Structure 1
């Protein structure tokens, strides 16, 4: 217990980490509003074009998004969220910054309930609590044992190799399942990709701070841009098949879990953590993922849309 206390005191004596936490919280607020406005823009474009983006948004739909003020404003809000997150990553470990984004799930849920009229059900509320609770435990344990050290070239090569495998795998899966238009695929895919985006962003920032911008760092930046583009495409398509708070739930749970796994295994950001801490990571992560899966299944807007789609012909007598 004494080791835990020492770690906790060390964390809260570190002004960098204390600054990173409010920056990450502010980013979560911007993300919530950005997601809501982007979702509104995507749904408007679908109505105007008379086509669904569930199998992937077309080039015409993407161009129409640029003409929608709501989507553009949402994109600017997400840009502000990214700036806040990058600023937080510049001063605090990734395993602390990323999980804090789960706060945006609560804000987005309240916004979507007010705008769409689909109030959260007891089941969906329990799912949200599982998401937030799991991530809260996750970040608390991470905060106790988070440490940072310079990223070696070998670690960076491993991360880039894993990213390449993930990008190829996601594209192959997308080609196989795109016609089904299931929101969980797009949410999970974008969450995994953005987990790598956060990690690569942290690496690039650290290298720039250390004045060590070499060819490998440039390759890392290129991988970051490719991952951002593909992840953003999957997110926009996710808005076409699911409500914004469901999309945010996936991103704020899967994204940090992937980033933290990379931080733990490759970057060794919790090298001094005891065995019980890793067990806590596993349990907390499983609870959070369970929350996302059940929210996708019992979200009131998803259930309402599903019922509208499956109404038998001729059942409407009006």
Structure 2
């Protein structure tokens, strides 16, 4: 059953990459001057942005199903493959081949994620014990992160603004994954309850907030840079909350734990290199189109 969850998570990552390309292009065109309410209304009528929204919803649905079959430690890191797909889409859009540095970064990312998932699978057999207090603790942890990051995004300049909003969005999406995992456990162990409804409501609110924050991130930086923050921040936060708040199992023994840490570091290195290659290209494209670097709003 874990293999089904992995397959669903991979499909979800492809949908997220497609959504990032579509929504970034729409936001940079319609919302280049900031995402005030008037521009938000224009986005809501933009076919490209709406298509991206459908792709985002499909990705979220597939990822939710993945969490019903696999724990956070397995399903979440697979989201990093969205960045790989984004590079492939960008190369097709620009009608060019993938550069050597990008290929090296892709290899690091895929190898790191594959190793991380394989090492996490042996520890994925048991379900955590959850209750209403578990939901509250998870929400408090994420609320603290978002509250700290949003002011940085509002006052930041250029790429710093993008990084802060994208990381805050990653924390919200991590909460979506954590609450989804909690809800699936609640449904399997206790059926329908008020705690389950509370988890479902939290999923909707966190997804909506994360979606709005990510639009601000798209207005300030490239889709690759945004996805880099999401694909690193989302799994790191979600797996961390899963281990500390949900009590999900970790690889037993010092050697497996160290190997998993090395794999995570390899994946993060690949993401960083990949984002550096692609974010520079996209910023240069924006500079050519607008005649100026990204301006603070």
Distance in 2 (CA, whole Å) between partners of 1:306 and 1:122 is: 23
Could you say which structure has the larger radius of gyration?
Answer: 1
Gaps of 5+ in 1: 1-15, 313-318
Deviates more, 1:118-127 or 1:237-246: 118-127
Distance in 2 (CA, whole Å) between partners of 1:69 and 1:306 is: 21
User: Structure 1 pair 72/303, CA: closer, same or farther in 2 (3 Å)?
Assistant: closer
User: Who is 2:269 aligned against?
Assistant: 290
2:257 matched to 1:278? yes
Distance in 1 (CA, whole Å) between partners of 2:120 and 2:200 is: 26
2:51 matched to 1:52? no
Equivalent residues of 1:184, 1:296 under 8 A apart: no
User: Structure 1 pair 44/119, CA: closer, same or farther in 2 (3 Å)?
Assistant: farther
2:164 matched to 1:185? yes
CA deviations over 1:182-211 (Å, ceiling 9, x no partner)? 432233222222112111111122213334
Displacement of 1:267:
2.2
User: Who is 2:23 aligned against?
Assistant: 38
User: Who is 2:183 aligned against?
Assistant: 204
User: Structure 1 pair 52/116, CA: closer, same or farther in 2 (3 Å)?
Assistant: farther
Distance in 2 (CA, whole Å) between partners of 1:103 and 1:179 is: 26
CA deviations over 1:132-187 (Å, ceiling 9, x no partner)? 33222221211232233243224333212212222322233333426765432233
User: Structure 1 pair 297/105, CA: closer, same or farther in 2 (3 Å)?
Assistant: closer
Distance in 2 (CA, whole Å) between partners of 1:150 and 1:212 is: 15
User: Structure 1 pair 230/166, CA: closer, same or farther in 2 (3 Å)?
Assistant: same
Equivalent residues of 1:200, 1:224 under 8 A apart: yes
User: Who is 2:231 aligned against?
Assistant: 252
Pick aligned residue for 2:108 from 130, 135, 145: 130
2:144 matched to 1:165? yes
Distance in 2 (CA, whole Å) between partners of 1:103 and 1:130 is: 11
User: Structure 1 pair 52/290, CA: closer, same or farther in 2 (3 Å)?
Assistant: farther
- The number of residue pairs the alignment matches comes to 290
SS of 1:210's partner is helix
Equivalent residues of 1:131, 1:249 under 8 A apart: no
Question: Pairwise CA RMSD of aligned residues?
Answer: 2.8
Distance in 2 (CA, whole Å) between partners of 1:217 and 1:170 is: 29
Pick aligned residue for 2:65 from 81, 87, 90: 87
Distance in 2 (CA, whole Å) between partners of 1:183 and 1:268 is: 32
- Structure-to-structure mapping, 1:262-273, within 5 angstroms: 262-271=241-250, 273=252
Deviates more, 1:76-85 or 1:101-110: 101-110
Q: What TM-score do you get using the length of structure 2 for normalisation?
A: 0.84
